[in-house]
């Protein structure tokens, strides 16, 4: 085969490769005006087509990275991912936005949206609580950094709910140990609730379970001390009445003496 013929064959092969590449499904890059791209993304967002909106906002930054629109588009892409329940993608985008634009006026909202991206995934107490702890850390960061913002006020409410959830997990584990007779392990869990989650709804039960566990171990002095704390802080609760029955061997509900309830209670405690 002559050299001229070899060249013709090579050129033909190159043309075939070019035609094949053009016939693939690869997306063709078409540069558009930044206003058009941003408005298209907003329209998708308003139509609740959140995945499309996220992709379109990202295209704004890709095609016009140095425009003022690109900064806003970063945040809006993260918001769109959040709305699409793509929380990991939202967190990644928000971390990037915070890192690149720490002085932007929308940074408080970025921190808040990041916290929500964890908070929305808080699962029931029977499952691992790593996401709950991340939500608590992120919500606490909002309050610490922006204490006077509207985001901090909502974050504080969610912190209470998040802490209650974490306390509920400790209670669940403590009950598991308690029901199987592993009282020392149960005590450690209930103590954790009393020491670390004092403002949650689980504290009265945690104190009562401590009374039960100490009584089961025969450590009556500790049982009475815990019952005293329970009686002082939650004197009218059912948990206190149950604790009294466990530690004292009698039921306050059945007492009919003339002596007042609180007087009888403190006579027993002290």
Assigned domain for 73 exists: no
Nearest to 185 by CA among 170, 201, 195, 202: 170
Assigned domain for 12 exists: no
Assigned domain for 225 exists: yes
Could you give the angle at the alpha carbon of 150 between the alpha carbons of 136 and 169, nearest 5°? 20
**Predicted TM-score (pTM) of this structure:** 0.73
Nearest to 268 by CA among 193, 195, 211, 199: 211
pLDDT tens by residue, 145-161? 999 999 999 999 999 99
Assigned domain for 91 exists: no
Nearest to 97 by CA among 85, 88, 109: 109
Positive/negative CA dihedral, 244, 250, 255, 260: negative
- Rg of the chain's alpha carbons, rounded to an integer? 31
Assigned domain for 1 exists: no
Contact assessment for residue 87 and residue 117, using Cβ atoms and an 8 Å cutoff: yes
pLDDT tens by residue, 215-267? 999 999 999 899 889 888 888 778 767 776 776 665 555 554 444 544 444 44
pLDDT tens by residue, 100-134? 999 999 999 999 999 999 999 987 656 678 899 99
What does the DSSP 8-state code read for residue 26?
Answer: P
Range of the structural domain that residue 247 is part of: 202-270
Task: Give the C-alpha separation, 28 to 207, whole Å.
Answer: 66
pLDDT tens by residue, 5-60? 544 444 444 444 444 444 445 555 566 687 888 899 999 999 999 999 999 999 98
Assigned domain for 128 exists: no
How many domains in the chain? 1
For the beta carbon of residue 154, count every other beta carbon within 10 angstroms: 16
Assigned domain for 18 exists: no
pLDDT tens by residue, 163-190? 999 999 999 999 999 999 999 999 999 9
Assigned domain for 114 exists: no
């Amino acid at each position: 085969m002559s050299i001229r013929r070899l060249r013709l064959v090579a050129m033909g092969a190159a043309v075939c490769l070019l035609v094949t590449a053009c016939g693939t499904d690869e997306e063709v890059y078409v540069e558009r005006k930044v206003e058009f791209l941003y408005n298209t993304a907003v329209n998708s967002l308003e139509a609740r087509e959140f995945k499309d909106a996220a992709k379109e906002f990202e295209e704004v930054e890709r095609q016009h990275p140095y425009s003022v629109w690109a900064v806003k588009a970063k945040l809006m892409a993260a918001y769109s991912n959040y709305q699409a329940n793509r929380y990991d993608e939202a967190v990644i985008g928000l971390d990037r936005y915070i890192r690149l634009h720490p002085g932007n006026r929308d940074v408080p909202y970025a921190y808040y949206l990041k916290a929500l991206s964890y908070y929305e995934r808080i699962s029931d107490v029977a499952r691992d609580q790593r996401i709950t702890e991340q939500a608590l850390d992120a919500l606490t960061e909002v309050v610490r950094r922006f204490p006077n913002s509207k985001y901090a006020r909502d974050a504080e409410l969610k912190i209470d709910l998040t802490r209650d959830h974490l306390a509920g997990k400790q209670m669940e584990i403590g009950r598991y140990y308690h029901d199987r007779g592993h009282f020392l392990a149960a005590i450690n869990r209930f103590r954790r609730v009393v020491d670390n989650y004092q403002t949650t709804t689980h504290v009265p039960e945690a104190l009562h379970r401590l009374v039960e566990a100490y009584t089961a171990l025969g450590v009556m002095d500790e049982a009475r001390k815990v019952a005293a704390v329970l009686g002082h802080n939650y004197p009218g609760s059912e948990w206190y009445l149950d604790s009294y029955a466990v530690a004292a061997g009698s039921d306050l509900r059945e007492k009919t003496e003339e002596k007042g309830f609180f007087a009888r209670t403190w006579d027993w405690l002290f």
